[in-house]
Structure 1
């Protein structure tokens, strides 16, 4: 088979079992990276590890809410610091 006949990644069909294997490997790698990341705040690390304990969940609403709350808290803290500097 020549290079012209090699199927591209786009045209390759994956079985359900292939996709499960890929997802499993990705989840394991994500857990490994979370465990190793020293810059991740402990509360985020704990929440993410809890969410991923049974694999990658289909519903990531708890993580989305945590991110939104973190952004909101950071924004309020920054605004508070700006106000205190202005006075």
Structure 2
């Protein structure tokens, strides 16, 4: 495959080390999304992560994230504005 130009040396090295091909961009995105579902507080501090979710998903996750953040830190970060409060 490498000599035929169908994969990079980096991908081939990954395959040898892990006995599987590297994850695709879609697989990386799904893994990140699953991580954020388990640790939604990251949606508070890194708003860009919200782009992975639909509006409906965010309506469920953001309140959970805010509660977890408050339970852990005592208050939401300085300057944080909930995307669902007007």
> Structure 1 or 2: larger helix share?
1
Larger Rg: 1
Please indicate the TM-score interval, normalised by the length of the shorter structure: 0.3 to 0.5
TM-score of the aligned structures, taking structure 1 as reference length = 0.32
